[in-house]
Chain A
Amino acid sequence: MHELSIAMAVIDQVRDAVPDDRVESLTLRIGELVAVVPEALDFSFGLAADGTLLAGARLVIETVDGEAHCDGCGRDTPTGMPPVLWCGDCERPLTLLAGRELEIVRVVVADEGPDGTAVGDTARDTTRDEETSHVPHR
């Protein structure tokens, strides 16, 4: 399951961007066609964030539908999943417009209080046992 690697890549990049801040939430944009399962990513993120300044952060996933354009008939159509990337009417390949996004959009970080403790508490809900269908390979 590469969702764990992806979660680790996300955490590395967020830590590079905001090295000293506790992260309240982060928003990812994930296209329908990149083969990343949001539930598996959420599960992996919880594991990988443990012990970092992202521990307890809320993961917000915006999904983007696959969409493609046909230069022949000029139509924009949803690709569906598995994607149809061929226009049967015009017998030509489509051009992909959306659906391959895999992006960290933004993070929300907590401003620290004067005594160094974070303002507000966003302890992560840890009821993850039900998601055992996505057990990572490592």
Chain B
Amino acid sequence: MCRTVDLHQAVLAKNDENALALRRFLASRGTVAVNLMSSPGSGKTALLEQLLTRAVAAGTPAAAVTADLATENDATRLARSGAPVQQILTDGLCHLEAGMLQARLEDWLPDGTRLLFVENVGNLVCPASYDLGETLRIALASVTEGEDKPVKYPAAFGLAQLVVVTKTDLADAVGFARETFLGGVQQVNPGVPVLETSARTGEGVDALLAHILRGAEGEETHTPVLARQHEKHLHSHANGTVREPGPVS
């Protein structure tokens, strides 16, 4: 004899609850979190080093948490900016979850931190599913990775509120097909802003920091098409109501 129990629960409900708690914690501290996602080797750490250095120089209190499967190399590198930096070693896990970030921030986040950069694990698949309580989610891709990154990783680019191209100083050398890349971005995330940067030459870094600060000041950020349904889903769960089942193939 068997019994059927209807659950209708979002699989990531626990992470989403943790993310909501983390979002409240950050808001109470006056901190805005920026979640950075990219593949390994995209130049995320170099760009972040530049962002931190400029934020510190401009008097904006900024800090960073960097997540890696192993080694603290990135934290050591980022600390040269003068900003407080913490490393989370995920011990093999391929993404950060809200609870892991919250546990690290609770006894560490320096008072008065305005911007908190969260450098997610280098991976364009897994981190996309996890809300980290961020205000701004950025997907990065370097010109050396190929123009089809956005359509190959539609969740990462489709859920981003800002897309950043890195290593543009190498664009000509590698024959980066800019229009193809931008076409792919618009296909999976119509209307998302795209900024082009080079950590080596400094191109676009000030514009990127300015964009992030405008978001931190409450300027409305882009809402991706993919995220709209996701949010509805979260809200329906939070209210304890059950979403109508979608068509099943």
> Which residues of A are in contact with B by a Cβ distance under 8 Å?
1-2, 5-6, 9-10, 12-14, 17-18, 21, 24, 28-29, 31, 33-36, 62-65, 67-68, 81-86, 92-111, 119-120, 137-138
Query: Are A100 and B230 also in contact (CB < 8 A) when A2-B94, A65-B247, A109-B2 are?
Result: yes
Q: Please state if B246 and A83 are interface contacts (CB–CB under 8 Å).
A: no
Q: Given the complex, which residues of A lie within 8 Å of B69, measured CB to CB?
A: 137
- Chain B hits for A67, CB < 8 A: 246-247
Q: Using a Cβ cutoff of 8 Å, how many contacts connect chains A and B?
A: 163
Q: Is B36 an interface residue (CB 8 A)?
A: no
State whether the Cβ of B28 lies closer than 8 Å to any Cβ in chain A: no
Report the Cα distance A104→B228, complex, angstroms: 20
Known: A33-B226, A104-B7. A9 touches B190 (CB 8 A): no
Check A64/B249 contact, CB under 8 A, given A13-B14, A33-B154: yes
With A85-B188, A85-B225 known as contacts, the answer to whether A111 contacts B3 (CB < 8 A) is yes
Does B155 lie within 8 Å of A33, measured CB to CB? Answer: yes
Does B35 belong to the interface (CB within 8 Å)? no
B126 at the interface (CB under 8 A from A): yes
Q: Are A105 and B187 in contact (CB under 8 A)?
A: no
Contact of A5 among B95, B128, B186, B228 (CB under 8 A): B95
30 contacts between A and B (CB under 8 A): A2-B125, A2-B129, A2-B130, A5-B95, A13-B7, A17-B7, A17-B9, A33-B154, A33-B155, A64-B249, A82-B151, A82-B184, A83-B187, A83-B188, A85-B188, A85-B226, A93-B225, A94-B190, A94-B225, A97-B229, A98-B246, A99-B246, A102-B12, A104-B10, A106-B7, A108-B5, A109-B5, A110-B2, A137-B94, A138-B92
Interface size on B, residues (CB 8 A): 52
Q: Tell me how far the C-beta of A25 lies from the nearest C-beta in chain B, rounded to whole angstroms.
A: 9
Q: How far is the CA of A104 from the CA of B154 in the complex (A)?
A: 23
Q: Mark B2-18, 1 if CB is under 8 A from A, else 0.
A: 11111111111111000
Assess the A85–B189 pair: CB atoms within 8 A.
Answer: yes
Chain B residues closer than 8 Å to A35, beta-carbon distance: 125, 128-129, 153-155
In whole angstroms, how far apart are the Cα atoms of A30 and B128 in the complex?
Answer: 15
**Cβ of B248 under 8 Å from chain A:** yes
